[in-house]
Amino acid sequence: MVEISAGKKRLLFGDGVNLRCLPAGEKRPEKHQLLLEFDDGSSVAATVQMYGLLYAFRAGANDDNPYYMIAREKPSPLSAEFTEAYFEGLLSGVKPAMSAKGFLATEQRIPGLGNGVLQDILFRAGIHPKNKVGGITSAGLGSLYRSVKETLAEMTLKGGRDTEKDLYGNPGGYGTVLSAKTWKNPCPVCGGVLVRQAYLGGNVYFCPNCQPQK
């Protein structure tokens, strides 16, 4: 979530809200859910896709929203507070039969970590998205923790994934390894065939050789 303070008011943009910064004179999109116009003639337009949420409220008026409060209170995986001990604590709070994808991408255990970034995190850790967390070795869990930290840091440093666009309509500089853009290519590590499957409310992409299902 991205929050903007405007005096005592707040604007909150959740995942699924596309923001575009438009210079003065450029045509605004015909359909939009929010349009902010500035004194110099430029503007920011927001359009919502499917599950996207856009909020406008007085400070404190959204404190009964559990997802909002989780996003405010839990440590970012990019922060020093997101330690391996903290990560292990998250794992201890779920059932061993939960899948790797279920652990990482549901219930906002790690705010901001969703299905889009999940694919490369699991690929780098060598973990199949359907593998049960209780069956992952301690070494595998250590690799998963490092992959969460390092993959998200690289995505951030490079301005996001190449499957998303920034405020000016430019794709991010992080080249996705596994995504809708790449899954028909051979695996960049072993050269094998990549797989796309529907699982837990979205597609997962994986290499059966590099991420064996157990």
Q: What is the pLDDT of residue 201?
A: 86
The span from the CA of 125 to the CA of 150, in Å, is: 11
**CB neighbour list of residue 115: distance below 8 Å, 6 or more residues apart:** 101, 105, 201, 202, 203, 204
What pLDDT does residue 39 have?
96
pLDDT at 52: 87
Q: How does pLDDT run across 45-84, given as a tens digit for each residue?
A: 999 988 888 999 999 999 999 989 999 999 999 999 999 9
What the block records as the tokens of 101 is: 């994808």
- Residue 172 Ramachandran class (φ > 0 left, ψ -120 to 50 alpha, else beta): beta
**Start-to-end Cα distance in the chain:** 34
Ordered by where they begin, the domains of the chain are 2-73 (no CATH), 84-175 (1.10.8.50)
Residue 16 has pLDDT above 90, yes or no: no
Distances 82 to 43, 121, 132 between C-alpha atoms, Å: 36, 16, 22
Q: For residue 15, what pLDDT band results from cuts at 50, 70 and 90?
A: confident
pTM: 0.92
